[in-house]
Structures are given as structure tokens and as C-alpha cells.
Structure 1
Amino acid sequence: MTAQASLAPSQPTREHWLAVRPRLVLASAFMLFLELALIRWTGSNIVHLSYFTNFVLLGSFLGIGLGFLRVGRSRRQPYYSPVVLFGLVVVVLMFPVTVDRNTEGVLYWTSLATTGPPAWAILPVIFAAAALTLMGPAELVGRCFPELPRLEAYRYDLIGSLSGIAAFTALSYLSAPPVFWGLVVAICYGLLLTPRPLAYYLFLVTVPSLAIVTLLLSETLTAGAIWSPYYKVTFQQFRQLGVPVTDISVNGIPHQQAVPAAARLQWERQYGLPYERSSAPLDDVLIVGAGSGTDVAIALLKGAKHVDAVEIDPKLRELGGSVHPDKPYADPRVTTTITDGRAYLERTSKKYDLILFALPDSLTLVSGASSLRLESYLFTEEAMKAARAHLKPGGAFSMYNYYREPWLVDRLASTVQAAFGHKPCVDVVSQAGQQAVITAGASPSAQRCETQWAGAAAGTPAPTGDDRPFLYLKDRNIPSIYLITLGLILIVSLLAVRVVAGPFARMRPYADLFLLGVAFMLLETKSVTGFALLFGTTWVVNAIVFAGVLVAVLAAVEVTRRFRTPPLPVMYGVLLAGLALAWLVPNAWLLSLPLPVRAVAAVVVAFLPIFAANVVFAKRFSDTADATTSFGANLLGAMVGGCLEYLALVIGYRGLLIVAAVLYLGAFALKPRRLSAG
């Protein structure tokens, strides 16, 4: 058989009513949409997933890889996918995991105990169900690959993936509840799964799809939830000591209260301490984490002439505007900005008399970044220095929260001390829950401490930095709960690949593609976290970055298809040079650039290695003898890369570039010899 013949697509079987190209685009869009919807929806009902967001992502990657490997081993339609998805929806709605506010305990990196199934019982179910559910759409995508030339199939797969991101982003922008996600999923199942035999189609596709939509509609109508881009927000209104109170929960976790300012000051001393510890006038006040508006109302009550209120979640801000008794957001002295606090500090040129971090605890992670919370970059030493740079002479910075651990109070106080150059005021208002207020003036004379802080206790961890912004991680290691979980995931994945795909020897020729998948996932994580620092951890930035990665991949494919590209050794050299550039360019320098220039520089630094890596992949993939097996091996590599993301807890996000470089060198060493010159 000639090389040309071995690379030629097989003849389409026309078993489906849709032509192969639109079917591939639709199936790829459906696959990515379903993955994003599962991550978003399961996390809103199973509180454990607020701290394991990539748990569903890893299950999805496993399922997608298995779906590709299953192509050719069965001609049956993947009718199992809607059935498994229906079962997953039933389990999540019947056994949600929420936080019990009346119980003390530690929940990963936050506080309070849970009600519902324990993590060891529910997480394996979620992981397995996500894998089986995504295996169906992936198999539908994989069946299209043999009918097209390699890179053309990959091209349409990327176009579909971009369409899936766009669809989910649009629904997030519209704050659409999950019933609309369910409708999209049901329509895609109906279009992609052929109605032959009809009985199978009715009972395994139509009935489960309609049931999923019905259950999600019931959840939407009964929970009374508001779906923000980050949370499932629920609230309850009542009166406490004759005062109107609105309790607000997100993803089943008690989050904040909308309470009149006077009552809040009377009930909890911490809310008034920032104003007692500062000697500056309140002409301009910045509140980061404005939420439902209580902190804004307090600032106005204290006499602030103008308040800039920064809140990352638009729906929490809208809810505060409608339910807060004091109506602080209707006050003409208040200006609201929807972004994350660090991004605001890096962009604004304003100076303030008081900057207040008001309980900024997001209770969720950035999607696609293994351990980065929405507010992680707000508590680094660099962030505190940015806050100090925006203080007027005589101004003050203050932060308060329920820190739960004494070492955490000391760590934050040490971070403020390092940034401001002198000891802050530290008021531990209540030992229960370590309710504390930390205040620092622009100079020592600008703060009025009741007693001097004794300094950090022995054993207090060092301040966090932008490269390792893990405030709640006391030791420089990977917590055992993650190691055990990831180990079990890898064991289950190996067994699943063996059962579904047969002997591992089938994938042995594509070991280099497997390593390319591992390394690329680390590159993607570094890009997501880097752009989150440079432009904000908002969902919009996250969606743009993921779309940008796919556009860079698509550009690499188009260049490889249309032009003669350098041989693989040269492209590997370009890739390693791109990694070296990303290593050498410091975040501090990028943050110092004007926003438009910063955007251009960040795109070049982040996407040069991504582009080169995908030219390498496209050249290698176009030469494979088995498109679906080679692509499946690459996807399984991405799943392993998702596990290796947790190395950032030890070596930082910058260190992931070194790991990626080693993996790319390994892929180069394992590539077939005949590709070295061609």
C-alpha cells in the first residue's frame, strides 16, 4: 500500500442523514457544550465539585478518549449516553451535597461541614458518569474522522468546539437556567443519534432526553435559583430581631447576607473596625467584594463621599440592588464595576482614602485551572503592593473575613507587612472561626492600632505570590486527598482503556502523541492562569482564553494544511524557544504595560508555544495510520496532563513550563524516525 493510499479517507457509509462535515461540526460542538454544562451544573449541586472542578473535566477527557478508541470496535449507536446522563441527573438531584452552616469543620480549603453523600461516595459516581456520558458524543465525532483527510477532520472538529464554547458562553451571558442547557443537549441527541431501530431510539434517546429536560425544568421552577456565570444563587428572606435579612447561598454554600448597615455594625464588630483603625477622611472608598451591598451601605453610613464597588458576579450585584433594605446601589455616591478585584487594581489610576477587601471568598475555582480560586490573585504579596500603590497619602487598607485558622490570619498579616513595610493592626474579633480584621496605613502614622500585633507565630507559611497563589495551602505539597483521588483516577482510566480499546499495544505507536497531549494540557493551564492574572478571573476572560487556544490550534492546522512547514525537528526547536520565552518574560513586566500593549504581549508569549505545539501535532497526526486511535491517545494524554496540573501546588504555574518542555523532549525522542526529516 502506498503512503498516499494509507492516508486516504475511507468511503463514507452514509448511515446518517447528515453529511459528514456538518455532522462532525455538530457532534464536536455538542461534545464541548455537554462537557461545559456538566462541569457547571454538577458543581452547583455537589459542593465537593466547587473544589474539584477539574474532576468532571478529567472524567470528560477519559470519556472522549475512550469514545475515539471505541470507533471501529462496534457499529452500534452510542444510545448509552443519554441513558447515563439521565441517571446522573437523577442522582445529583436526589442526593445533592450542601453545606451545614451549624456545623464546624474543614471542607478542603474553606469551612463548614456538609450534608448529603460524602465525597468518597459521590465523586466516583460523578467521574464515571461523566466519562460514560461524554464517550457517546466522542464516538460520534470519531466516526467522522475516517471519512475525511486527517487534518480536514481535525479542522472541522475545532470549528465545532469553538461553536460549542460560543453557545455555552451565550447562555451564560443570558443567565439561562439549566433547563435550556438540557434542551440543547436533547436536540443534539435527537439530531445525531439515528432512529434505527426505532424502538431503541424512542426508549433510549427520546424518553431519557425528555426526562432530563423535565427534571431540569422542575429544578428551575422549584429552587427559585438565579443562575449567574459562576453560581447557582438562592436566597431566603426573613426578619431577625425585627430587622429584615436576606440569606444568600451559592452552590449550596451559605455565602453572604443583605442586612441594614446599622444592624450589621451592631451585631458584628468587625464591620466597623476598618473605619476605627484608619485616620484618613472618607472622600474616596474602594470596596472589593461588594456583593449584595452591606459593606457599601456601611461605608455610606460612615460618611463616605464616593464609593467604588467592585464585584465579580453580576447576579449577586443585581440581587443586592433589589433586596438590600438600604438600597446602597441606588445611591448616587456609588459606582459599580463588574470585574475581579485584582484586575480592577491593575487597571485603575484612581487613589483612595480606604481600600477594603470585604469578605472576598468566592467558594469556587476557575474552570480549567486545577487549584486557582476566583480570588486567589487578590491575596498575594503583589496584590497587596498594588493596593498600597492606590492609596492616597494617609490612606489605609483593610481586609476582614472568617479565616478559620490562626496561621491563616498570621499569613495574611505577614503579607500585608511585607507589602507595606510595617506591621499592620490585627484585631481577632472572635476566636471562634478566627473572625479577624487586618488594617495597614500607607504609613505607620496612618493607622491607629488598639494593641501592636506581636508578629507571625513560628511555623507560619510565607506570603503567597502570583506564581503560587494558594493562600489556603499551608505546606508546599499536594494534599493527600488530591494524591489519593488522582491515583484512583489514573488506575480506573487504565482499566477502562484496556476494557474499551483492547491491548495497549494498539496505542504504542502513538506514545509521542500521548505525551503531546499531556504537555499541551499543562500549556493550556499556564495560559488560563496567566490570563486570569493579567486580565481577571472573570468568566468572560476564561471563555476568551479557551476560545483563543482553539483559534491558535485551528490556525496551526490551517497553516499545516495550506503551506509547506519546516520539518518536525525545526518545529520542536521553535516550540522549545516559545517555552523559554514564556519562562523568561515575568508577569510583573507584563502587568506594568498599558492594557492594549499588555494584551498583545500576552498573546504573543502565551500562544507562540501553543501554535508551535499544534503545528507539531498536526504534522504528526496527518501521518498516522489510524486517525481515531492516535487522536484517542492524544486525548488520554490530555487527561493525564489534567492530573499533572496539581504539580503547580508545589512548583508554581511557571514551573509547569519546565515539565511541559521535558514532556515535549520525550515526545520528540519517541517520534517515528522516518518523520525526522520530512
Structure 2
Amino acid sequence: RFGLEPWQLESVTAIPFLEQLSMGARTARTLAQWFAVYFFLCLVFLLTALAFVPVGQLCGRLMTRSPRLRAYGLNLLGSLAGVLLTLLASALWTSPIVWYAVAFLTLLLFAVPRRATLLYGFAAAIIAVVILAWPVQQSWQRIYSPYQLLELGYSDAGLMVIRAAGHYYQRVHDLSSPRANDDPRRRQVRDYYDLPYRVRPAPADVAVVGAGAGNDVAAALRGGAVHIDAIEIDPAILWAGRANHPERPYTNARVLPIANDARSYLRTTDRTYNLIVYGLLDSHTLLSHASSVRLDSFVYTVEGFKEARARLKPGGLLVVSFSALTDAIGRKMYEMLRQAFDGAAPAVVSAGYDGAVVFLQTKEGGFVLPPEALAETGLQDQSAHYRESSALVDVSTDDWPFFYMPRRVYPVSYLLMLGMVLLGSLFLTRTLVAERPRFGELAFAFLGAGFMLVETKAITELGLTFGNTWQVIGIVIAGVLIMAFLANAAVHRFDLRRPHVAYALLLGSLALGWLVSRAGGLPSTAAGRIASVALLTSPLFFSGIVFSTLLGARGSVAAVMAANLLGAMAGGLLEYNSMYFGFRFLYLLAMALYAVAWGYPLVRRLFPEPVEPVR
């Protein structure tokens, strides 16, 4: 409410990363914009890191009061409890006020022995909660879904508009009235939504992928569809569409709303369809720089389109709509569909609504757009344009799912930001920490970096296997912590002292995972899913065995955890290599880090740490 004017925010809201398409945001082009945005990012990083310094110091002091393995086990149980509370808070659609209130209350428990500290803490917590609860835009209804912040407002015509992360996301239309044809703008919108049903009138079974607030579902009902499965990952958007769409598509008996990840549903369902419609799925905010620096959608990959093709009935039609803001992105979608349909090029139509370009192809391939489908509409056949386009693109796959990167290029523009993060970390370490990291804890840094890469790979592939829903991701993270806890308990129970067998099993399991991933992965059957879970979680267990075994022989658990966390941060930075090499490369990178950690004791024996003389 009392912030800067839009023109004053242009520099700090510009995107400094050039390798990916920035939808809904400007890209930094001038030195002033680059300086402003990097200064702002560094400031945010330093403030965020400083907020965790007292918590880290408190955690380190508490862990030094207990035996090392027991302290580490309790730390893992606390992390697991935090993940479970996060799942509960997400399921209840709670706002950040609730999240921070619980965190503040937990921290205040440690201030109880001192009355003055407790009073100051309560005052600071109350002020922080009031600031978080302060209304910013009262004309917009805020909904904190498990995935994102949604803001519901209404246009001048009284129709719902949805913003996500502060940017335009969706709007609903009332196209059922005959008067819709009298307004040129509404007619253009209706022509776009009705296109699939001009090509395939009155289909028996329709799947709308990315159903959103219900515009595509309403179009299917107007087109005479007998049964419609409406797949939308965000339950809050389904609720908003059910409550606010003027055509009431989600209350129709012919519609079955399904809150699920689109890729997971198409992979696991046994239903087949006459028509599958991708309704501008995530083509605005969710997969853009506005909400995430990293883009790894498994919906827009060659393998994803092949699975959608497999769900078509004989003669069935696949319709993919996407807001192609650049010719390269449109060409990339064209090439991906061509590969998914064994070289058969799709038909392409320019809709003129929200920049939408529509790609159409039948199960057997060779679809030819009938001229009458575009008659008396503003739609244009763009098949020849994309067929003859000279734009150079690399198609997205499950190993390299970065759809918004037209070419597979190394993310050079990220290096400056990552370097500034490292410099900021070094500044904080040298300023706030009197004790310097020791050479003896370097192995734990390599273990932390390797574990971060393995964890990233596990979350990515298990999300692909079971669906990238918030429940699956939360359960996977909880599973990672459980595996680490079980490994720590095994070391404590059986008094393991040598990590060599665990190292060998760790490297062997990573090598096996790399080979299976290179071969195309395991099938999506029940047995294949169980095998995937075992294959992806076993490296986490063996890594936990190694870490806890080495931890039991060290002196300071706080120093070990600090080195491990620094290594984990380095692993997070190394994970950006997947933007060029693909996610499978993380296996090789993790194997190299673990091999270095395994060989580290030999290096220490060859180059012992100097001992300071006693004065």
C-alpha cells in the first residue's frame, strides 16, 4: 500500500537470468538494472541468512549437550516433525501468519527461564505477526493453497480474475449467452475455446488437462461432450471455479473434477478419451520466473506427450494450447509433439487470445485441419509457419525438462548470482564465527554436497513416478529424513565404526540408479514403483550410514553439522548443472563427491593437519 511506484520497481523486479524465458516479467538489460536487482537479491540473501543465525547457534549449543549420535537423531526427528506440521498446515490452507506464529511460539519456549527475554520475545513476535497480518489490497481475496498464493478479484463485468504470486493467472468468461457473438472480443475468446469441438463435435469422453477455473470445461459442455474428466492440480482453483464461474461447469453431472498432477494422472489412469485438451496449462505464472528460478515441468516433455497419446482412443485427438510468447517456444512445442507422434507434424492454429497457439494431432498422426473449423472465426492456420521456422531449439525430456529454455545452454548468468551468494556466506562466516572451519571436517562438507544432489534426484524422480502434488513432495521429504534417522539408529544399535562397506554400497546404488535412468527408468506398474522407491532411497540410507559412522568418531557435533550444511549449500549450487547436463548427470556428480569423501582419510594421512605449539 505504501510501497514504491511501478516505475520505481522496474529495476528490482527485472529478471537477471537470460537463459530462460521470463513470462510476465521484464529482463534486465542495462547496467543500472543489473546492479539494482543483484544488490536487492544480495540484501534479501543476507537478511534471510541472518534470521537463521540465532536458530543455528541455539541448535548447535543444544546438540553439544548430548551424545553425538543421539543429538543427531533428535535433530532428524525434529526436522521430521516440522515436515509433518508443514503438511498439516498446507492441508488446512493456512496463511503465513499461522506458520510464523507456530515458529515464534516454539522459539519463545527457549526464552522461558529469563523473564525479561521472554517479554521482549513476546513483544517482537506480536509486532511481526501484526506486520504479516496487515492488509495490503482489501479488494482481493487471498487464498493460501498448498501450492501458491492465489488472489481472487473481479473485473468490471463482475467476472472472477485470479492472480498467482502477484501476477495475472486466470480469468473466467461467460460464453454461454447468445450475445457473446455480438461482442468481437468475447467472440474471439469463444472461438478459441470452441475450436476442439468444431473439429470433434460431441465427443463421448473428454479429458481437460489443467482445467483451472473451468473455461475449458464449460466449452466441452457447450460442445456436447458426454463425459468430462477435469484434471487440475490446485484444489483451491477448483473451489474458486466451482463457486464463481457463471456457467457452473463443475456442478454439472457430466463433469468429474480430479485434483491431481496432470502427468501422474495420464500415466496411471486406465481410461481412454476421444479428446484430450491441454487448457493453457501452467503457461503463465507457475512455471515462469515470477515464481521460480528453476523450471522443471514434467508435463511438457516428449515422454509426457507420448503418455497422453497412449490415452487416446483410435482416432482420438490431442489438443495442446500454450501461450507461446516467442517463436522459439512455439517451435519447441511443435518439435516435441512431432517426436511424440513418430515424426508426424501437428497442425497449428493461432488463436489470438492470451497469446495462445493451439497444436492438434490425432493418435495415428497425419491430422489435417479441416477448413470449415476455422471458417467465420479469427483463428489462423500457422502450420506452415512452424514447419518452416528456422528457430533452433532443443526438445524437453524427462531428463532435461526445462521447457522455457529454448536451447540447452550452460546457465552462465546464474554464475554471478551464485558467486555473490558464496561471497555473502564467506562474509557472514568470517564476521560472525570466531572459529574457522577445520580441514578435518572437510569430508562432511563433501558428504553434505553429495547428499543434496542425491536428495534432489530422489525428489525429482519420485515426483515423476507418483505425481508432483504437494502431498507426494512432502511425503518424499519426510521419507528422506526417515531414511537418515534409520541409518543413524542402525549405526548406534550395531556400533558401526568403519564406513567402507557403506561407501561401496552407496557408490554401487548410485551407479545402478544411473544405469536404470539411462535405460529409460522402470515401468509405472506397482512393482516398478516399489522398485523405484527402493532404488532412489537406498543411496540416502547408505549415505546416512556413512555420515553417522564418521560422526560417532568426531569431537564436536556442532562443527561437523556446520561443515555438512555448508557442503549441502554447495551441493545446491552444483545442482544447477542439471540445467545443461540434465538430471541424470547429478548421479555422476554425486558419485564423484562421495568418492572424494571416501578417499579423504588417505589425503589426511599424507598431509596431516599442523598442530599448533603449546605456549
Question: With structure 1 as the length reference, what TM-score do the two structures score?
Answer: 0.79
After TM superposition, list the pairs within 5 Å mapping 1:466-477 onto structure 2. Answer: 466-477=398-409
AA aligned to 1:210 is I
What residue in structure 2 maps to residue 157 of structure 1? 75
The answer to whether 1:575 aligns with 2:506 is yes
| Alpha-carbon contact 2:332-2:406 (below 8 Å) kept | no
What does residue 232 of structure 1 align with? 149
User: Which residue of the other structure, out of 265, 277, 288, is the alignment partner of 2:209?
Assistant: 288
| Counterpart residue identity of residue 127, structure 1 | F
Q: CA shift at 1:499, angstroms?
A: 2.0
Provide the residue aligned with 1:425 in structure 2. Answer: 347
Change in Cα spacing, 1:449 to 1:464, as seen in structure 2 (3 Å) is farther
Query: Is 642-651 or 489-498 further displaced after alignment?
Result: 489-498
Q: Deviation digits for residues 127-185 of structure 1, max 9, x if unmatched? A: 11221112222211111111111100000000000001111110110111122112202
SS in 2 for 1:471: coil
Counterpart of 1:15?
Answer: none
- Structure 1 residues 372 and 495: alpha-carbon distance in aligned structure 2, compared to 1, 3 A threshold: closer
Assess if the C-alpha contact under 8 Å between 2:392 and 2:407 holds in 1.
no
Of Structure 1 and Structure 2, the greater helix share is in 1
Q: Distance in 1 between matches of 2:453 and 2:590?
A: 6
Distance of aligned partners of 1:181 and 1:265 in 2 relative to their CA distance in 1, 3 Å threshold: same
- Among 92, 99, 122, the residue aligned to 1:206: 122
Alignment deviations for residues 312-347 of structure 1 (CA, whole Å, 9 cap, x no partner): 000000010000001100000000111111000111
Give the corresponding residue for 2:611.
none
Mark the CA change 1:332 to 1:279 in structure 2 (over 3 Å): closer, same or farther: closer
State the match for 2:167 in structure 1.
Answer: 253
How much does 1:588 deviate? 7.4
Q: CA deviation at 1:626?
A: 1.6
Structure 2 SS opposite 1:172: helix
Mapped to 2, the partners of 1:566 and 1:674 lie a distance apart of: 18
1:326 aligns with 2:247: yes
Please say if residues 502 and 542 of structure 2, whose CA atoms lie closer than 8 Å, have aligned partners that are also in contact. yes
CA offsets per residue over residues 504-546 of structure 1, 9 Å max, x none? 4x42111111111111100111011111111111111110110
**Aligned equivalent of 2:110:** 192
Question: Match for residue 56 of structure 2?
Answer: 138
Larger mean Cα displacement after TM superposition, 464-473 or 442-451 = 442-451
**Equivalent-residue separation in structure 1 for 2:306 and 2:404 (angstroms):** 20
Alignment of 1:517-536 (within 5 A): 517-536=448-467
For the residues of structure 1 that align with 2:107 and 2:79, how far apart are their CA atoms? 16
The unaligned stretches of length 5 or more in structure 1 are 1-91
The residue aligned with 1:347 is: 268
Name the CA distance, whole Å, in 2 between partners of 1:273 and 1:352.
17
Q: Decide which moves more: 473-482 or 147-156.
A: 473-482
Change (3 A) 1:326 1:587: farther
Q: CA deviation at 1:618?
A: 0.4
Contact 2:268 / 2:524 at 8 angstroms: preserved in 1?
no
How far residue 481 of structure 1 moved from its aligned partner, in angstroms, is 3.5
Amino acid at match of 2:389: A
Query: Hey, what's the Cα distance between the residues in 2 that align with 1:309 and 1:96?
Result: 40
Question: Does the residue aligned with 1:612 lie in a helix, a strand or coil?
Answer: helix
SS in 2 for 1:353: strand
Tell me if structure 2 keeps the 8 A contact 1:99–1:254: no
C-alpha distance 350-192 of structure 1, shift in aligned 2 (>3 A): same
**2:93 & 2:123 partners in 1: Cα distance?**
27
Return closer, same or farther for 1:325/1:662 CA change in 2, 3 Å cut-off.
same
Secondary structure of the corresponding residue to residue 453 of structure 1:
helix
User: Hey, what's the Cα distance between the residues in 1 that align with 2:135 and 2:219?
Assistant: 36
> Would the aligned equivalents of 1:410 and 1:456 in 2 still touch at CA under 8 Å?
no
Matching residue within 596, 613, 617 for 2:543: 613
Does 2:416 align with 1:484?
A: yes
SS of corresponding position for 1:225: strand
Q: Deviations over 1:35-93 (max 9, x none)?
A: xxxxxxxxxxxxxxxxxxxxxxxxxxxxxxxxxxxxxxxxxxxxxxxxxxxxxxxxx99
**Identical aligned pairs, as a percentage?**
31
RMSD (CA atoms): 3.1
Equivalences for residues 353-368 of structure 1 within 5 A? 353-361=274-282, 363-364=285-286
Decide whether the 8 Å contact of 2:518 with 2:584 is kept in 1.
Answer: no
Distance in 2, matches of 1:330 and 1:220, equals 33
- Kept after mapping to 2: 8 A contact 1:518/1:641: yes
Instruction: Specify whether residues 487 and 547 from structure 1 end up closer, same or farther in structure 2 by C-alpha distance, changes over 3 A only.
Output: same
Shift of 1:427: 1.4
SS in 1 for 2:397: coil
Gaps of 5+ in 2: 28-32, 372-380, 607-615
Q: Is the 8 Å Cα contact of residues 497 and 549 (structure 2) preserved in structure 1?
A: no
Q: How many angstroms apart in 2 are the aligned matches of 1:97 and 1:629?
A: 46
- Specify the alignment match of 1:28 in structure 2: none
- Aligned partner of 2:104: which letter? A
Partner AA of 2:576 in structure 1: Y
User: Does the alignment pair 1:303 with 2:217?
Assistant: no
Partner of 1:465: 397
Q: Take 1:371 and 1:416, find their aligned partners in 2: how far apart are those partners?
A: 26
Q: Distance in 2 between matches of 1:97 and 1:580?
A: 51
Change (3 A) 1:439 1:130: same
Show CA shifts across 1:230-274 (max 9, x none).
11111112344xxx4211001101000111234486132432333
1:221 Cα deviation from its structure 2 partner: 9.4
Residue 500 (structure 1) aligns with: 432
2:538 pairs with 1:626: no
Distance 1:220 1:649 in 2: 36
Give the TM-score, by structure 2 length.
0.86
2-structure distance, mates of 1:568, 1:588: 30
Distance 1:675 1:564 in 2: 24
Pair 1:129 & 2:41 matched: no
Residue 440 (structure 1) aligns with: 361
State how far apart, in whole Å, the 1-side matches of 2:457 and 2:5 are: 32
Contact 1:179 1:220 (8 Å CA) reproduced: no
Q: Which moved more, 1:265-274 or 1:225-234?
A: 265-274
Report if the CA contact (8 A) 1:568-1:675 is conserved: no
Alpha-carbon distance, 1:491 to partner? 1.4
Looking at structure 2, the residues matched to 517 and 209 of structure 1 have their Cα atoms a distance apart, in angstroms, of 33
SS of the equivalent of 2:402 reads coil
Amino acid paired to 1:650? Y
Structure 2 Cα separation of the partners of residues 582 and 610 of structure 1 = 12
CA contact (8 A) 2:302 2:339 kept: yes
1:365–1:201: structure 2 CA closer, same or farther, 3 Å change rule? farther
Secondary structure of the residue aligned to 2:286 is: coil
Match of 1:547 among 475, 478, 481: 478
2:274 & 2:330 partners in 1: Cα distance? 24
Give the conservation status (yes or no) of the 8 Å contact 1:99–1:114. Answer: no
